[in-house]
Each structure stands twice: as C-alpha cells, then as structure tokens.
Amino acid sequence: MEYKYLIYEKAASFLTPEEENIAIITLNRPDALNALSRGLLEELDNVLEEIRKDGKIRSVVITGAGRAFSSGFDLSEAGAGDEADMKAGMELGQKVFDKIETFDKPVIAAINGYALGGGLEMAAACDLRIASEKASLGNTEVNLGLIPSWGGCVRIPKLIGRANAAQILLMGERFDAKEAERLGLLNKVVAPDELKSTAMYLAGQLATKAPIAMRLVKNILSKAMEISMEEGNKMMIKGGITCMKSEDIIEGISAFFEKRTPKFKGK
C-alpha cells in the first residue's frame, strides 16, 4: 500500500538478519514538522493494521523525517467543521494512540527532534522512548487554548506521576531530552547520530523475543495502573498457562541449554 504522509519500511534485526522482522514508520511531512493531520493519522492507523497482520514483523519503530518527531496537532485543521467534526478528530487521535499502546508488538518511539503536543502524546503511547540529545519536548496545548485530548491528560500522569504531569500539562513549557529522561518520560537519550542505530538495536533485541509472551506482557502492562494486584495475578496465571502450552517455550528452553538465540514462531 502506498502512503502519502508516512514512509513504511521493513528491516532485518541484527540477530536474525535473514528475516525482515522490524517495521519502521517515518512520519513524512517535514515541511510541517510532521504535524498530525487527519490524513496522517488515518494512514498511521492503516499502516498499523498492515503491520498487525504481518506475522513476520516482531517490533516497530516510529520516527519523523527532518527536524521533528512530530510538532503535534495540525493547527491548520483547528476549528474546521462543526462540533461533530471536532469530536471525530479527537476520537481518531485517541483511537490511533490507543492502538499503539495496546499493539500486540512492541513499539519504540525514536524522537529525533520536536515532540510537542500530540507528538509527545503519541510518543507516550509507545512502549519505549529513545531521544536525541537535541530533542525538544512538551505538552504545549494550554498555550494555544487547547488541552492534550489524544490521551495525554491520562497517559502522561501514569508514566511520570501526577505532580510531574501537572507541571508539564499545566505550564505548557518545553523541556530538553535530559529533563525528560529525569522525569521518566524517556528510556534513553543518545547523540543525534546514534539515535537510529540505538533504536534499531533495541528493536532487533525485541524482535528476538517470544511473540506470545510479549503480547501478554503488553496486555497486562496496559492495565497495570487500573487493576488490583488480585486481578493482575489472575491475568498473569492465565497468561503464564498460555505460554506454558505454547511451542515457543519449548524452543526457548532448548535454545537456553544449547546456548543459542531462540527462533520463536509465535505458536
């Protein structure tokens, strides 16, 4: 499928070079700092579905072309249409970011530059966030008379706690990558020329893990902040049994004793 606002590529992981098992999604509106228009969000939704159906893909990297990861909501679409259209736009962003968070394959945000507003909300929905030292981040919506309506008001506090989130969401300030790492928003900060290789290295590691186990861990993680320990224990028992009944566990244990990298099939 051809995409207008993004580039979709496949790459082989360093541990299994014979397979193209990493999906790379590059937001491709560099002249607009990869602003999230409705068209781009729809394409992102479609490419995620394409990746979901591809059994060979084991991990995903999302990044941006040019100077930005994403500058957020496309302001040229602000105020367009009636209330129903506005609601539909918000629901589309929520749908796509919820899909990223609950995606059955791990997703890495490789933040190459600006990650502002909806761009930071999208990054927050990913499982891991790696940023360039030159990245600039922030939920700046309040400065424009808006709120983070694509998940940020709920997702950011879950990541970094209410107090830190309140400062970010209410002050609307930009901050650098080191501060984002200190707050717990980022897993790692690297030199600009190391961002792609670091993201691909992590994606390659994730691509070697057992798909069934990864999917189950992600499912529990997505609910971990809302459920009780008792509910979590039940989910972990159910998931553990699913893993124990899979072919993957046989391969994983065999590879462990044979001192080799396992080749999981997701069965």
Q: Which of 2, 19, 101, 121 does the annotation list as catalytic?
A: 121
CB atoms within 10 A of CB 184: 12
Q: Which of 141, 173, 179, 194 does the annotation list as catalytic?
A: 141
Contact 6, 23 (CB under 8 A): no
Active site residue 141: yes
Active site residue 247: no
CA 263 to chain centre: 25
The DSSP secondary structure of 159-200, one letter per residue, reads HH-HHHHHHHHHH---EEHHHHHHHTS-SEEE-GGGHHHHHH
Q: What angle do CA 119, 105, 182 make, to 5 degrees?
A: 45
Query: Cα(127)–Cα(148) distance, rounded to whole angstroms?
Result: 19
Enzyme catalytic residues: 121, 141
